[in-house]
Amino acid sequence: AQSVTQLDSQVPVFEEAPVELRCNYSSSVSVYLFWYVQYPNQGLQLLLKYLSGSTLVESINGFEAEFNKSQTSFHLRKPSVHISDTAEYFCAVSYNQGGKLIFGQGTELSVKP
Amino acid sequence: GAVVSQHPSWVICKSGTSVKIECRSLDFQATTMFWYRQFPKQSLMLMATSNEGSKATYEQGVEKDKFLINHASLTLSTLTVTSAHPEDSSFYICSARVQGTSGSEQYFGPGTRLTVT
Chain B residues close to A41, C-beta within 8 Å: 111, 113
- A25 in contact with B at a CB cutoff of 8 Å? no
Residues 6+ apart with CB under 8 A from B62: B47, B48
Among chain A residues, the shortest Cα distance to B34 is held by A100
CA distance B110 to B5: 7
Sign of CA dihedral B55, B57, B58, B60: positive
* pLDDT tens readout for residues A19-63: 999 999 998 788 899 999 998 878 889 999 998 888 899 998 899
Amino acid occupying residue B42: Q
Report the Cα–Cα distance between both ends of chain A, in Å, rounded: 41
- B44 in contact with A at a CB cutoff of 8 Å? yes
State percent of chain B over pLDDT 90.
70
Helix (H, G, I), strand (E, B) or coil at B86: helix
Helix (H, G, I), strand (E, B) or coil at A27: coil
Amino acid occupying residue A25: Y
Is the pLDDT confidence value at B102 over 70?
A: no
DSSP A30-98: --EEEEEEE-TT--EEEEEEE-SS-SEEE-TTS-EEEEETTTTEEEEEESS--GGG-EEEEEEEESSTT
Q: What pLDDT sits at residue A96?
A: 77
In terms of phi and psi (left: phi > 0; alpha: psi -120 to 50; beta: otherwise), the region of B114 is: beta
Distance from CA of A106 to the nearest CA of B (A): 6
- CB A64 within 8 Å of CB A48: yes
User: What mean pLDDT is predicted for residues B59-71?
Assistant: 94
More confident residue, B52 or A92: A92
Among chain B residues, the shortest Cα distance to A90 is held by B43
- A7 in contact with B at a CB cutoff of 8 Å? no
Is the pLDDT confidence value at B90 over 80?
A: yes
* pLDDT tens readout for residues A56-97: 999 988 999 999 989 999 999 999 999 999 999 999 998 877
Q: What pLDDT sits at residue A100?
A: 85
* pLDDT classification of B43: cutoffs 50, 70, 90: confident
Least confident of A5-19, A86-100, B69-83: A86-100
- B56 in contact with A at a CB cutoff of 8 Å? no
The CA R_g of chain A, rounded to the nearest whole Å, is 13
